[in-house]
Amino acid sequence: MDQSVGIVTTEYATFDVELPLESGRLLGSPLTLAYETYGCLNSSRSNAILVTHAWTGDAHAAGKHTPDDRKPGWWDDMIGPGKVLDTDRYFIVCSNVIGSCGGSTGPTSINPRTNRPYRLNFPVIMVRDMVRAQKLLIDHLGLDSLLTVIGGSMGAMQALEWGVLYPETVRSIIPIAGTGRTSPMAIALNALARQAIFNDPLWKKGNYKPEHPPAEGLALGRAVGHISFLSDASMNLKFGRRFSARDGMFDFFGQFEVERYLEYNGRNFIDRFDTNAFLYLAKALDLYDVAWDFANREEALSRIDCPSLWFAFSSDWLYPPQQSEEMVTLLKKLDKPVEYHLIDSDYGHDSFLIEPEKFTPLISAFLDRLATS
């Protein structure tokens, strides 16, 4: 497997702590984080990079778990020998966020107080809580410095929170397709996804059996998200107005190709994601505001003590470029070293997954400058 990190294994770190959450509740003990690492830590422990994932991502960012895996990890284009996050040079860590369902403590985990799955007894968490949990892992791995924290979408929010919360640890942050606070449009879209699930009688207020999830509701909720990750241009390129070849155009249930694709994608999603985790993460996205618990955004951003590199995509209408630009403007006003690139891409919010070649050279140059500074 050329340029691949090869076969990798998800590891688990379990902490005997009760993590204080922004809500005032405690999470744990135990608190488990699933994570993967790629590459080797150097002797000066100065080459660690934390990769943070988006809504439905997980710890498996690169390589394969078995040679037969159909697909590699979600950012395999970015991580590996000779790639921008070069495993010959860097030690890469990616951990599944709390609240998710990829091995870290989330609504499917056992609530130690009841010995039953949390389900809706899981506390509402914020992105800041995810980052606090990650800090436990980074400490556990003996990393007192991170060369960078890099991620797209919800991953960008985590990168930003790392800069604000742990300025003594991070030497740079790279938020891609991010935002300083979720807009009402993005919240409204998440509300549709939520309602699609709430409307499914199988959801049972979160008490569905794992083998009988609210499949229709989750598939529709995913489809809402999916549309917001794409763009008019990318859908035109991929589907245009083609009508499904097997349907009659005047059949009431006849589908356009775009429609069939969304349905197919939504149904695949059911097998790989837990419905309650999907809802908890949607909530965390909605609640995201870097100014949370600070007087304002300036006060939050003034804590950042490292260079930041921002990317936004021209066709991203979920977190449009303007939202990154607001943050960049504020950082400049605060005299923070900041670099921003608006990348011309037709692939909407998902551009960070689909066209990395458009921004990886800029990341390589940035990391090279950091390493020599």
**Residue number, 209 or 253, with CB nearest to a second copy:** 253
Decide if residue 334 touches a second copy (CB under 8 A).
no
Known catalytic membership, residue 68: no
Dihedral sign from CA coordinates of 71, 74, 77, 80: negative
**Residue number, 36 or 200, with CB nearest to a second copy:** 200
Secondary structure element (H or E) that encloses residue 366, with its range: helix 360-372
Cα 100 from chain centre: 10
List 13, 41, 191, 370, residue binding a second copy (CB under 8 A):
191
List 111, 255, 360, 364, residue binding a second copy (CB under 8 A):
255
Count of helices and strands (H, E) across the chain: 11, 14
**Residue number, 10 or 183, with CB nearest to a second copy:** 183
Known catalytic membership, residue 316: yes
Rounded Cα distance between 25 and 20, Å, is 6
CB atoms within 10 A of CB 204: 12
- Three-class secondary structure of residue 243 per DSSP: strand
Decide if residue 217 touches a second copy (CB under 8 A).
yes
- Min dist CB 18 to a second copy, Å, is 17
Q: Is 139 annotated as a binding residue?
A: no
Known catalytic membership, residue 53: no
Decide if residue 239 touches a second copy (CB under 8 A).
yes
Rounded Cα distance between 73 and 28, Å, is 28
**Residue number, 262 or 328, with CB nearest to a second copy:** 262
b/e burial code for range 67-92 (CB count within 10 A of at least 16 → b): eeeeebbbbbbbbbeebbbbbebbbb
- Min dist CB 203 to a second copy, Å, is 11
List 216, 316, 346, 350, residue binding a second copy (CB under 8 A):
216
Decide if residue 87 touches a second copy (CB under 8 A).
no
Decide if residue 240 touches a second copy (CB under 8 A).
yes
- Residue 56 · residue 3 · CB < 8 Å: no
Cβ contacts of residue 115 below 8 Å, gap of 6+? none
- Min dist CB 303 to a second copy, Å, is 21
Name the segment binding a second copy (CB under 8 A); options: 5-13, 88-96, 183-191, 294-302: 183-191
Contacts to a second copy from residues 29-48, by CB under 8 A: none
Q: Is 181 annotated as a binding residue?
A: no
Instruction: Express the helix, strand and coil content of the chain in percent, nearest 5 each.
Output: 40, 20, 45
- Min dist CB 98 to a second copy, Å, is 15
Q: HSE on the CB side for 40, CA within 13 Å?
A: 4
Report DSSP letters for 40-89, one per residue: ---TTS--EEEEE--TT--S--SSBSSTT-SS--TTTTTEETTSSEETTT
Cα 309 from chain centre: 17
List 23, 29, 42, 329, residue binding a second copy (CB under 8 A):
23
- Three-class secondary structure of residue 300 per DSSP: helix
Which positions from 270 to 289 touch a second copy by CB under 8 A, shown as an x/- string?
Answer: ---------x---x--xx-x
What's the one-letter identity of residue 201? P
Decide if residue 154 touches a second copy (CB under 8 A).
no
**Residue number, 51 or 186, with CB nearest to a second copy:** 186
Question: Under the rule (CB under 8 A), what is the footprint of a second copy?
Answer: 22-25, 120, 123-124, 181-185, 187-189, 191-192, 195-196, 199-201, 216-217, 220, 223-224, 227, 230-232, 235-236, 238-241, 249-252, 254-256, 258-259, 262-263, 279, 283, 286-287, 289, 317, 320
What residues are annotated to the active site? Answer: 153, 316, 349
Q: Give the annotated binding-site residues for substrate.
A: 222, 350
